[in-house]
Amino acid sequence: MDFATNPPNRSKKIRIPSVLGAVLDLNNCLDLTDKKWIDLVKESYKSFRESTVLFGKEMPTNKNPPGDPYSMDRVIRELDCAVIENIHKITGDTESFDSIRGIFIEGKALYDGAGFFEKTNIQICIRNPNCIKGFFHPRQKVIWP
């Protein structure tokens, strides 16, 4: 809900935000919390950079939204997206990822010297629609006990 009410690109405010829950099976997941896959992303970047230079193209960059040019977060992740897409080109049919999961550390530190940040979040990209087992409207909070 926070993302919907405070989008990174301030010009794209969502008029009527809401939350939808989902039951997911990540199946073959490019899990960016796992060293094995982090190493693959690193190799994909090298490969992508080499081919971009070879073909005389300009490397994409991660950017800040127009309304927040001084942010450290660079939430418009054009470079990261291109590197992930390159993984799919490199692996082809040998490693078809159904989903991708990553942690994004964003926002200000919660306190001086903190390792926790205001907008840290986990994002999941579902590539294979069969990973979506169901969806629902989250239930309202109940008084317990």
Number of domains composing the chain:
1
| Residues 48/57, Cβ–Cβ less than 8 Å | no
**145 cis-preceded (ω within 30 degrees of 0):** yes
pLDDT tens-digit map of 13-57: 778 888 899 999 999 999 999 999 999 999 999 999 999 999 999
pTM for this predicted structure: 0.80
Assess if residue 144 is contained within a domain: no
Mean predicted confidence (pLDDT) in 120-130: 94
Domain assignment of residue 127, yes or no: yes
Look at the chain and count its residues: 145
Tell me the per-residue pLDDT of 55-74, one tens digit each, with 9 for 90 and over: 999 999 998 877 776 677 88
Report yes or no on 11 lying in a domain. Answer: no
Mean pLDDT computed over 85-102: 88
Residue ranges making up the domain that contains 21: 2-6+16-136
Does residue 57 fall inside a structural domain? yes
